[in-house]
Every structure is written in C-alpha cells, then in structure tokens.
Structure 1
Amino acid sequence: MYHSRRKFIHHAGKLVIGAGILGSLPLELIAAQRRYISPNDRIGVGVIGCNGMGFSDLQSFLKNSACFCAALCDVDSNVLNRRKLDLEKAGLTAPKLYKNYQDLLADQAVDIVIIGTPDHWHCLQFLDALSAGKDVYIEKPIGNSIAEIRAMELASARSGRVVQVGQWQRSLPHLEDAHQYMRSGKLGRIRTVKAWAYIDWVSAVPKAPDGPVPAGVDYDLWLGPAPKRPFNPNRFHFNFRWYWDYAGGLMTDWGVHLIDTVLQFMEPEMPQSIMASGGKMAFLNDAQETPDTLTAVYNFRDFNLIWEHTLGIGIGNFNRPQGVAFLGENGTMVISRADWEVIPHHKNIEAVPSQKSQGASGLDLHVQNFLEAVAVKEPEAAKASIGIGARVGIVSQMGNIAYRSGQALHWDAEKGKFKEKEANGYLRREYYNGYKLLSEK
C-alpha cells in the first residue's frame, strides 16, 4: 500500500514540478497547473512562520497537486493576512489562520508541518510537532545550540516520523554527479577542503532605538525562549539571524549548506580541533552582533576544512560567491549551487569543464523527495534526514563556539563535549520566560 501511495505522490507532482524547470513559478501559475485530487488522497500542509522561507517552502509543496495548504501560523497577523491573500488571489484554498503554533498542531487537517520560524524557536516547535504525530519539513539550521540539536535527533528517532531538513542542495542532480566523480578517486588524496560564502546582497543594519511593538504582532510569543528585551525593529523578521539571542549569523545560515557538502563527500568523523578568527570588519558600527567576517579551521583526522564568510564582498574563491573546493593531490574539484568543475594539477588527470545545474529547482526536488519518504513512512529515505541536519548543525555550532570563546578547541567525541571547560558553557542556551527544553522538564 505504501509503495502505491508513493507512486501516486510522484505522479501527482510530476506535471507541476516539470513546469518549474526554469525557475520559481508565481502562485497563479502553480494553481493553474494543479490537478484535481480526491479529498481522501490530499495531504494537508501547515506552515509555522510564513514570512520568508516557510512560504517559499510551501510554494514548492503546492507544486504537488496532492498537497494543499491547510493552515498558516505566524505571530504577526500582518504576515498572516498577506499570505492568506496571496493564496486566495491565486485561486487556492484559503487556509485556517493561527497565531499560536500549538493550535495549528492540534488541527487534524494538518498532516505535514513546515517550520520556517527564527532559529531560536526551531527546537521546541519541532519537538511539539513530533509529539503531535506530524511529519516535519524544518528549515536549517535545525537547532540553535548543540544541546537542542541532540534533543531533536533523539526525539526524532523515538517518534518514527519523517523529517527533512531544508538543506536542499542534497537534492541537486549536478551535486550528485560531482559526488560520483569524487568517489572515483581521480582527485587523489584530499588534504584540504575550502568552503565559503561571500555575500554582497546583505547591507549594514543601521542602529535603531527601541520602540513600540507593531500592531498585530504578539511580541512575547515571538521571543518565546529568548531573553526578554524591548522591541527593536533590527531584531525582527529577516535580521534576527545577526543576533546571538536568536541565531548564529552566516556560520549557521550559509555554513550548514556548504559544510554539509563537505561532510557528504568526505564522510569524516567529528573534527578533532577547531579554531576561528574574525569579527565586525565589513560594517564596523552597525547593529549586527554576529561576525560579518569569519575564518574557521577544522582539523579532521585526514584533512583540514577552512570555512570563510564575509558580508559586503560578492566574489570569493575560484571566482564564485559561494562554494566548496576539494584540493586533491591530482586536481581540485570546485562545486557551487550553479555548477562543478575539475582543475587538474598533473597530466594524469583530465580537466572537467563547468558542469551546469540543470532540471527542476533543488528545493522542488527536495520537497518531492520528502513527500515520497512520507508516503512510504521511511525516515531514512529523506535526503537530508535528521541525522544529516544534526551533524552539520553541530559542526557549524563548533565554529561559532570557537569564535565566541576565543580559544582553540578540542572535541572529546566520547564525552560529546569540548576538553576546554569554558567552551562547554556554549553547548546549551539558557531558556527564558518559563520555557524549558524537553530534556530539562
């Protein structure tokens, strides 16, 4: 029965996804290409946090005709009403609207939950979604601390639910081709890997005074387990990611994507040591807390990983704004979301010219993979399962901890903590406002 269900989901999404090969589709075009599906075969999707990526994820789900938007949840009623209007204008079913995510989880019409909230809310909402019996598509990074990530991985294993982390580069066909080339051994022994994100489309965040909470916003619910602070527009919506209370800056925003490719291709054990250096070097006096410029060096047993990120500069290594380079003894493989190529070092290896990304978007393919895993109830069929998201989430957190502690750190894999006592204070984030992590209850 499950395999026939998987076949049904595959074919229900094939027409609409195929139409999106050249890029994202407006909602109106998605709606126009959806096919009629019997109510008995429909999959209700609920979105928690629908201002940014949560709504982008939903649009990919709606490219599969079996999916419909059953509910939207956001602490900002302005966002809720705008998203509902977006769906109605496209001729799609109007969803139920919730301000408190617990009410959405109690909705029996919701089968799958998309978590697109700021990072500091991911863990609690994920744990509650699993407890409510939902399959979960969660935006990266999965958690905001190593302790949260461990709790999420454990709860997921116990639940048996299907989880997909939004590390959608795992579903890009050209990266799968590059992975096959890596396995051929032609590059020779790899001793150094570089991963980087150079972001010039994010500008400085000018300092702004605290002010009144905007009408329609439940600010206490937005803060949740984060420290109680006066409302400041700089910390709200997109810019939350530049503040330690809620996120980890570019290291956890982009690092989880690119470092994940390193872990996928190299399959290493956890790093033995980590050191990091950086700071506010692009926008010296703006309001951001997290470093806009950072270099982190991870020593794995067989190779070093060098991570670089910076704001205000748009071109990085190998003339690419973001990417991963595997430096082998025979040649270097350079990978980005757009392409991959091989640059030879010796005559005994041939150059591979740029192999461009082709086909449907990585996000669309990632969502389709998740739906097929849900159909057969196989958590490990998800290409970015909870274990994959947890592993790269922890490694990215390590880089931030090395930076914030100002120390060269050494990881004790057996004990699951650093050998440096001071750094272990960063393994867990304190919860406020009466919230507790499940393992603390």
Structure 2
Amino acid sequence: MGWSDLKAALKVPGVKLIALCDSDANVLDERMAELKSMNIDAAKIKRYKDYRALLDNKDIDAVIIGTPDHWHALMMIHAVQAGKDVYVEKPVGNSIVECSIMVKAQERYNKVVQAGQWQRSQQHFKDAVDFVKSGQLGNIRTVKVWCYQGWMKPGPVVPDTLPPAGVDYAMWLGPANKRAFNASRYHFNFRWFWDYAGGLMTDWGVHLLDYGLLGMNSPVPTTISALGGRFAYPELYEETPDTLTTLYEFDKFNMVWDSAMGIDNGPYDRNHGIAYIGNNGTLVLNRQGWEVIEEKVSGNKVSKPFVKSSDNGLDNHMVNFFNVVRSRKKEELNCAIQDAAHVATVAQMGNIAFRSGKKLSWDNAKHKFTDQQVNDKYLLAQYHNGYNLPKD
C-alpha cells in the first residue's frame, strides 16, 4: 500500500520525494530501481531503516505511513510530535485504545492527518451516500457489508528461519510480541496474525464498513456479536478467521459484516460491497459503481440503473491531502483521523466479539465494553520490546 500511495503522491504537482524508510533493505533497493525507471533522481533520495531518524529530518513536511497495522499508531503519533503532517494507511490503529490516542495526538499537535480510506474521495461513493440520505429508499432496517476474496489465501506452513539478509527484523516487529522470523507472517501475510493486524475485518472491512456507517450518519453500535473460524484453509498458517459473520445492532437498524476468503461469488453478484435495504428499494454499492434495485412488494418502488465509477479514488485522495497540507483547512480532509478512528473502532469491536466468543455491549459514554474482562484483554494492544504507547 505504501508504494501505491507514494506513486499517487508523486502525481500531485509540487510534491517532492526526499526520503524513503523501510526495515527491509531489499524493498528499498527495489523501490530505488523503480524510481529510476520513473525518471526520478534516486541518488538524491535519502534511505532510512529507522523511522525515528527520518522524522528528525527537518526538510520533511509530510510522511506517508504504509506499514503493517501494528506500527500505525506509534509512527503517526511520533510524526505529529515531530511536526510532520501525516497520511496514514488504514486501519489507523490495531486496537481501540490506539485509535483514541491517535485522535488525541492529532488534536494536541494540530497537524494534518488523513487516513488512507480513499473511497471517501471517489465520486460515485459520495453520490450513492447522498441517495441513501435522500430518504428515497424508505425505512432502512438492514445494512449488509461483505467481502468475498477468492484470490486471497494465507501462506503455507513453513518452518521458522533466520531473517533474510537486509531485513532488520527487530525493527519490523517493533512493539509486537517477539517471535522468530517466519516468511508466512512477513510482508503481505502479516494481515492474518493478531499481533500485527486483524484479518479481512480490518483490511477491507474499514473501507466497506466506513460507507455502511456513513450512509446511516455514522452511528455507534450498541451490541456486537460474531461467528466464524478457519473453515476454508484450516491447514494453513493464519490466526485470523477466513470466514466471519458479525452482527452490529444499532438503535434503529442492524448492520451485518460477512467475509470469506477463497470465494468470489458474493451477494448481488459482487465479491464486495454495501447494500442499504429499504422499504422502497435496495442500493448496492461497491468500487465498480452503484445501482438501486426496486423492492418487489412496496407501493413506493424506487430503482436506478447501474452508475459506473469514473475516477481514481486514490489519486483524488492524495490531491485532497496535499491541498489541505497547503491550505491548513483541516475540515476539508475527506478522511480525517477522527473519521478513520471511528470505523477502525467498529471493526475492532467485531474482531473482539469473535475472539472473546461473547455478545458484547458497548458503553459509548465510557468508550469501552460493559464486560471489564473483555476490556482488560482486548481493548489495548500490548506493547513489547521497550516500546510504549504515548498517552496522547
């Protein structure tokens, strides 16, 4: 994600790349070669393996954080403390408490922080939500959100090894629990291990749940329950579920998250999407476009033919970020840290319901579950190896 983000950033007029940071020197070598192929003078770009040294560089105005999820909070907080504006990938935090502290840090240091939920900058998503909010669908009682990813498959079981040459594995682990290096937990596959991420729920889920919530004015669930497991690939190496169904109860509607790896045939013939189901019709939305399917019974039927996506959400999102970096009008961000923290928190609620095996009630005034044992075990990510999460 970080490389895609960087390429989008370099399309924005006036943006200059002066440094790259990665704990894997092999990745830095690859990126330098790719930059040369883009006619960028890579010799002038500084290389770092420790992000803290990069943040000390006074020539840097803004940073892009595209790391495994368990690093997002600490890097974002340290970046705003260092006076940098930040584009941080989703999910913004790997725990509910991290999300809250990231918001506090942005507000304390007053820096521009945009989250990488680029669908917020894609016009057809905005148009679809406007239609939902117009009331034409009637009473919306159910919102379905799903992600069926046939191409995604966790890595095979392989033995632990020494880290490859060029990899600073201690830096890659950072605050995560110390474990031996294993290729099945590294690079892309970090997504399937609780120490580093939250599976499909926090990978694709924050993109899709975000719009499920946005169309309903971003409420907070009252109860959360989840069922799932490793049903598709029980023999493989991942910890997160490859199959998961989560029910979020709100005051006036329910929202269902449904995900499966190794399957592409999802609801409404789409492998991912959001469906707002109303008395008059159902609006179905995904990255390809949106349509309204009329209700078969209602007398106030509404329908709309498929509207195809026609723009590049990631490119738009980067333009929005740098426009705000220049203007300092943070209210114009398409996905401020406050918005991203809300949906990341909702996604984490679903994972915690699954991991605890309980139907959970959320106390929004106290910003925690009513079950203190669950709070103690899951609300805050555990930091190790001498790292500590700042309080703000």
Structure 1 segments unaligned to the other structure (5+ residues) = 1-52
Contact 2:132–2:276 (Cα < 8 Å) also in 1 = no
Q: Which residue number in structure 2 is paired with residue 218 of structure 1?
A: 168
Say which of 303, 306, 320 aligns to 1:351. 303
Contact 2:91–2:206 (Cα < 8 Å) also in 1 = yes
For residues 416 and 267 of structure 1, the distance between their equivalents in structure 2, rounded to whole angstroms, comes to 19
* Amino acid in structure 2 at the alignment position of 1:162: V
Q: Which residue number in structure 2 is paired with residue 376 of structure 1?
A: 327
Say which of 95, 102, 105 aligns to 2:52. 102
Compute the displacement of 1:268 (Å): 4.0
TM-score by length of 2: 0.97
Compute the displacement of 1:284 (Å): 1.3
Contact 2:202–2:344 (Cα < 8 Å) also in 1 = yes
Deviations 1:234-279 (A, max 9, x none): 1110000100111100000011000000111101431000000000
Contact 1:69–1:93 (Cα < 8 Å) also in 2 = no
Compute the displacement of 1:157 (Å): 0.8
Name the SS of the counterpart of 2:277 in structure 1.
strand
Deviations 1:133-161 (A, max 9, x none): 11100000001001111110100011111
For residues 276 and 300 of structure 2, the distance between their equivalents in structure 1, rounded to whole angstroms, comes to 17
1:414 and 2:365 correspond: yes
Q: Which moved more, 1:396-405 or 1:424-433?
A: 424-433
Q: Which residue number in structure 1 is paired with residue 100 of structure 2?
A: 150
Name the SS of the counterpart of 1:438 in structure 2.
coil
* Amino acid in structure 2 at the alignment position of 1:411: W
* Amino acid in structure 2 at the alignment position of 1:206: P
For residues 179 and 269 of structure 1, the distance between their equivalents in structure 2, rounded to whole angstroms, comes to 15
For residues 150 and 124 of structure 2, the distance between their equivalents in structure 1, rounded to whole angstroms, comes to 25
For residues 388 and 268 of structure 1, the distance between their equivalents in structure 2, rounded to whole angstroms, comes to 9
Name the SS of the counterpart of 1:314 in structure 2.
coil
Q: Which residue number in structure 2 is paired with residue 434 of structure 1?
A: 386
Deviations 1:91-145 (A, max 9, x none): 1132111010011111122111000010011111000100111110000000100
* Amino acid in structure 1 at the alignment position of 2:288: A
Q: Which moved more, 1:199-208 or 1:398-407?
A: 199-208
* Amino acid in structure 2 at the alignment position of 1:398: M
Match runs of 1:133-282 below 5 Å: 133-282=83-232
Identity across the alignment (%): 50
Structure 2 segments unaligned to the other structure (5+ residues) = none
Compute the displacement of 1:362 (Å): 0.4
For residues 13 and 263 of structure 2, the distance between their equivalents in structure 1, rounded to whole angstroms, comes to 41
For residues 148 and 180 of structure 1, the distance between their equivalents in structure 2, rounded to whole angstroms, comes to 31
For residues 219 and 390 of structure 1, the distance between their equivalents in structure 2, rounded to whole angstroms, comes to 28
Q: Which runs of 4+ in 1 moved over 2 A?
A: 346-350
* Amino acid in structure 1 at the alignment position of 2:302: E
| Greater RCO, 1 or 2 (C-alpha within 8 Å, sep 6+) | 2
For residues 269 and 309 of structure 1, the distance between their equivalents in structure 2, rounded to whole angstroms, comes to 22
Compute the displacement of 1:347 (Å): 4.6
For residues 317 and 119 of structure 2, the distance between their equivalents in structure 1, rounded to whole angstroms, comes to 8
For residues 205 and 371 of structure 2, the distance between their equivalents in structure 1, rounded to whole angstroms, comes to 24
Contact 1:405–1:422 (Cα < 8 Å) also in 2 = no
For residues 183 and 236 of structure 1, the distance between their equivalents in structure 2, rounded to whole angstroms, comes to 42
Name the SS of the counterpart of 2:97 in structure 1.
helix
Q: Which residue number in structure 2 is paired with residue 126 of structure 1?
A: 76
1:83 and 2:31 correspond: yes
Name the SS of the counterpart of 2:101 in structure 1.
helix
For residues 331 and 115 of structure 2, the distance between their equivalents in structure 1, rounded to whole angstroms, comes to 12
Compute the displacement of 1:169 (Å): 0.5
TM-score by length of 1: 0.86
